[in-house]
A and B are shown apart, each in its own frame.
Chain A
């Protein structure tokens, strides 16, 4: 079975488990499965329906997406470790715009993410008579130099500064939650292992140590598989 088919089967299985009393899978359900097949992360039926909505709608125009891509590439330029394209950063903007659309999110896509593009375009238009997308990198950077730092107190730029901080946050978080970004960060973990304390050389580097009394009571990993038994006072015997 192809990976896609096997995941589809799993989704069908999960729907079966979730909808204990729903006798058949509707055609709408099938369509939903086709759209969300690439994600398999333990959703409930209601969550799958929401994902379907988020993954199938369209929020940004293609031009807007190109502007986001341009901005993202300047905020975090590609290097040999990774780039925003492989990290799916632009796609994340599109998804978050639709995902953060509940009343609690106060129209985040419209009022924050799209508003950012409008405000950045306005500044470029005032300065260069061009939309951001038509500016060259030097022109865009000259704008960013004014709006990328919170110590700029120019009142006319406060909204742009606030919105730029969101764009920077989105780009960075999108990058560092992607496979390529996590590799770049160097995070080690999210995998079965047997933790047995801070590596010796790290303890040395920070001039800290385990005190003997504390460590002597910690788990002896060579005995982790031995069935626990205690004496009547609660002393571990195994």
Chain B
């Protein structure tokens, strides 16, 4: 095998350019530190007309945007989804896990929902409240300064609400609710469900002169060509490249962290996907941000004399405590919204209002909460529109199906009359839910792949049941009719397959005790003093929030710690 070694030694090698890696790259390189950023996918910039999908019409795709190549449709901005050719993974019999991978500069931050929620004080210490899972070794106060900096650096809209576990920040003003969101507000208030403006990292107002302001096309999932939404590539990596301190390696799949005779890291090896050759680069510090499961895979595949069980794995906990957000949903038909007067209501790429967790778990039969996301409106038609043009006829005792000119009117009549409610909840991390190396299978680059074992527990099923009960009540209180049959125990209350919500975290969890955790409170491996993990792998628990804001705040904190250690010459 030909291995090509680079001559340079970097101060820091960052693996992965998503939320965590992008933030580390920016923070470190801004401090004058020489960084190698190694990304497994190609260069990506949504302002490049050859890569842009924003503002495309469905007919600009030969398949009208259908999801043949990209799971969420042709215009969705993720290179890769739950399946990638030549890079398989498996699940243990009787279990299922779906692993989303975005192979591109900026990773999944190009397609994410931009929902940017701080974890609250309770979320870092939830074991104190219900005895389940584990507390974080840090508290909200430790991370608050970084959330504050992040809000100002990256931008997030929202409102001050003074709720204990939904901390406020430095918010840009939110957009006004859409019509269907006013229906939701009405229904939620009737059901005593807290409802408030959503918190999305979309620029409703200028925060600097490098980024444009949102122009309300509703397509954040396509990654914004004027950088009006946050993507790691657009807002952190590309600006960092201009500073001259970052060497970017694209299409470079890291397979191993290299160590010296003493077991300290001294570089990484990667496969150049274009020529299939192996390369090595040297660095004083390695920062992993490949995504929770990919980071676990790299560490477990980094075996040496000093680390026979994989790098940093003396606790045998790498890959364990894998957990994803729970998800369940229900559509609601609103008869009042028939035959709508049509106007532009694209808005931002996501909801303008949402419901944070509003109940006290002590009074319920499941321990952790969930939030509710709201979808709907007169959205850009896409492949699938009109498929069942008059299925809601059944609610009026009319026949469904047919053919002829009347179908045109049916599509118009029902357009924009449906609201989608999605619950997103916190799962209890379990040691029994994990990913591990599958010794029998290699990917097309010859690297051993992951095998998953993940099952929801009763806590999650009960939570999903509560979601379904809530959705039904909300539906009626909005003046609507819940669609389809209400999911029951038989169908696990419609709970998502683990991995489907794409919030997987926890595979190198953080803690003070090296026997019970993989990284310390600065996200550094207990076993190796120059390897850090800044993606979602160190998460002790996932909260009923989306992970990105916390990944970035932690990555910023860890990067500042690295800067200070380098200055003190501790590393």
Contact: A234 with B168, CB < 8 Å? Answer: yes
Any chain A CB within 8 A of the CB of B561? Answer: no
* A238 and B172 alpha carbons, distance in the complex (Å): 10
* Mask: chain A, 114-150; 1 = CB below 8 Å from B; 0 = not: 0000000000000000000000000001001000111
Contacts of A88 in B (CB 8 A): 59
- Chain A: which residue is nearest B218 at the CB level? A189
Any chain A CB within 8 A of the CB of B126? Answer: no
Contact: A177 with B58, CB < 8 Å? Answer: yes
Contact: A79 with B206, CB < 8 Å? Answer: no
Find the residue from A11, A79, A214 having the highest chain B CB count within 10 A. A214
- Chain A: which residue is nearest B45 at the CB level? A17
User: Which one of B343, B347, B385 contacts A176 once the chains associate, using CB atoms below 8 Å?
Assistant: B385
Q: Which of A26-34, A59-67, A204-212 forms contacts with chain B? A: A204-212
Any chain A CB within 8 A of the CB of B439? Answer: no
User: Which one of A10, A76, A144 contacts B50 once the chains associate, using CB atoms below 8 Å?
Assistant: A10
Any chain A CB within 8 A of the CB of B127? Answer: no
- Chain B: which residue is nearest A161 at the CB level? B401
Count of A interface residues, CB-CB < 8 Å: 94
Find the residue from B43, B65, B274, B346 having the highest chain A CB count within 10 A. B346
Among A165-183, those with CB < 8 Å from B are: 165, 168-169, 172-179, 181-182
Contact: A217 with B159, CB < 8 Å? Answer: yes
Any chain A CB within 8 A of the CB of B388? Answer: yes
Any chain A CB within 8 A of the CB of B216? Answer: yes
* A184 and B174 alpha carbons, distance in the complex (Å): 32
User: With A21-B272, A21-B274 given, is the CB distance from A198 to B182 under 8 Å?
Assistant: yes
User: With A74-B403, A219-B173, A224-B213 given, is the CB distance from A51 to B62 under 8 Å?
Assistant: yes
Any chain B CB within 8 A of the CB of A24? Answer: no
Among B162-211, those with CB < 8 Å from A are: 168-179, 182-183, 186, 197, 204-208
Within the complex, the shortest CB–CB distance from B198 to chain A, in Å, comes to: 12
Contacts of B65 in A (CB 8 A): 177
Contact: A198 with B274, CB < 8 Å? Answer: no
Contact: B215 with A192, CB < 8 Å? Answer: yes
Contact: A20 with B251, CB < 8 Å? Answer: yes
Contacts of A99 in B (CB 8 A): 62-63, 66, 68
* A196 and B215 alpha carbons, distance in the complex (Å): 11
Contact: B55 with A190, CB < 8 Å? Answer: yes
* A179 and B218 alpha carbons, distance in the complex (Å): 19
Any chain B CB within 8 A of the CB of A185? Answer: yes
Contact: A173 with B401, CB < 8 Å? Answer: no
* Mask: chain B, 65-88; 1 = CB below 8 Å from A; 0 = not: 110110000110001000001000
User: Which one of A79, A179, A226 contacts B59 once the chains associate, using CB atoms below 8 Å?
Assistant: A179
Contact: A76 with B408, CB < 8 Å? Answer: yes
* A224 and B274 alpha carbons, distance in the complex (Å): 44
* A187 and B380 alpha carbons, distance in the complex (Å): 7
User: With A223-B205, A227-B206 given, is the CB distance from A188 to B62 under 8 Å?
Assistant: no
User: With A19-B274, A42-B52 given, is the CB distance from A195 to B216 under 8 Å?
Assistant: yes
- Chain B: which residue is nearest A21 at the CB level? B274
* A41 and B415 alpha carbons, distance in the complex (Å): 26
Any chain B CB within 8 A of the CB of A158? Answer: no
Contact: B197 with A149, CB < 8 Å? Answer: no
Contacts of B75 in A (CB 8 A): 41-42
Residues of A within 8 A of B (CB): 10-11, 13-14, 17-22, 39-42, 44, 46-47, 50-51, 54-55, 74-77, 79, 81, 88, 92, 95-96, 99-100, 102, 105, 141, 144, 148-151, 165, 168-169, 172-179, 181-182, 184-199, 201-203, 205-206, 208, 210, 214-215, 217-220, 223-228, 230, 234-236, 238
* A72 and B348 alpha carbons, distance in the complex (Å): 36
Contact: B411 with A196, CB < 8 Å? Answer: no
Find the residue from B75, B174, B176 having the highest chain A CB count within 10 A. B176
Any chain A CB within 8 A of the CB of B387? Answer: yes
Contact: B403 with A17, CB < 8 Å? Answer: no
Residues of B within 8 A of A (CB): 42-43, 48-53, 55-66, 68-69, 74-75, 79, 85, 152, 155, 157, 159-160, 168-179, 182-183, 186, 197, 204-208, 213, 215-219, 250-251, 272, 274-275, 336, 341-348, 378-389, 399-405, 407-408, 411-412, 415
Contact: B401 with A208, CB < 8 Å? Answer: no
Contact: A95 with B62, CB < 8 Å? Answer: yes
Where chain B touches its partner, the secondary structure class is loop
28 A-B contacts (beta carbon < 8 Å): A20-B274, A41-B74, A74-B404, A88-B59, A100-B66, A148-B403, A149-B399, A149-B400, A151-B399, A151-B400, A176-B386, A178-B64, A185-B412, A185-B415, A187-B378, A188-B342, A192-B215, A194-B216, A198-B345, A203-B179, A206-B336, A214-B197, A219-B173, A219-B175, A224-B206, A228-B205, A234-B171, A238-B205
Contact: A17 with B43, CB < 8 Å? Answer: yes
Contact: A178 with B63, CB < 8 Å? Answer: no
Contact: A44 with B79, CB < 8 Å? Answer: yes
- Chain B: which residue is nearest A105 at the CB level? B68
Contact: A173 with B207, CB < 8 Å? Answer: no
Contact: A165 with B401, CB < 8 Å? Answer: yes
Contact: A189 with B411, CB < 8 Å? Answer: no
Contacts of B176 in A (CB 8 A): 195-198, 210, 215, 218-219
Within the complex, the shortest CB–CB distance from A60 to chain B, in Å, comes to: 15
* A208 and B61 alpha carbons, distance in the complex (Å): 38
Contacts of B275 in A (CB 8 A): 21
Contacts of A51 in B (CB 8 A): 62
* A154 and B381 alpha carbons, distance in the complex (Å): 35
User: Which one of B64, B152, B217 contacts A189 once the chains associate, using CB atoms below 8 Å?
Assistant: B217
* A181 and B274 alpha carbons, distance in the complex (Å): 42
Contact: A189 with B345, CB < 8 Å? Answer: yes
- Chain B: which residue is nearest A104 at the CB level? B83
Within the complex, the shortest CB–CB distance from A37 to chain B, in Å, comes to: 12
* A135 and B388 alpha carbons, distance in the complex (Å): 27
- Chain A: which residue is nearest B77 at the CB level? A42
Contacts of A234 in B (CB 8 A): 160, 168-171
Contact: A198 with B179, CB < 8 Å? Answer: yes
Find the residue from A39, A79, A88, A190 having the highest chain B CB count within 10 A. A190
Contact: A191 with B217, CB < 8 Å? Answer: yes
* A225 and B473 alpha carbons, distance in the complex (Å): 41
Find the residue from A141, A192, A194, A238 having the highest chain B CB count within 10 A. A192
Contact: A173 with B175, CB < 8 Å? Answer: no
Q: A39-B61, A168-B403 are in contact. List 19 more A-B contacts (CB 8 A).
A: A42-B53, A42-B56, A47-B69, A54-B63, A76-B405, A149-B400, A151-B400, A168-B389, A169-B386, A189-B345, A191-B55, A191-B344, A194-B216, A195-B348, A196-B176, A208-B186, A220-B173, A224-B213, A228-B155
Contacts of A74 in B (CB 8 A): 403-404
* A194 and B186 alpha carbons, distance in the complex (Å): 25
Contacts of A141 in B (CB 8 A): 403
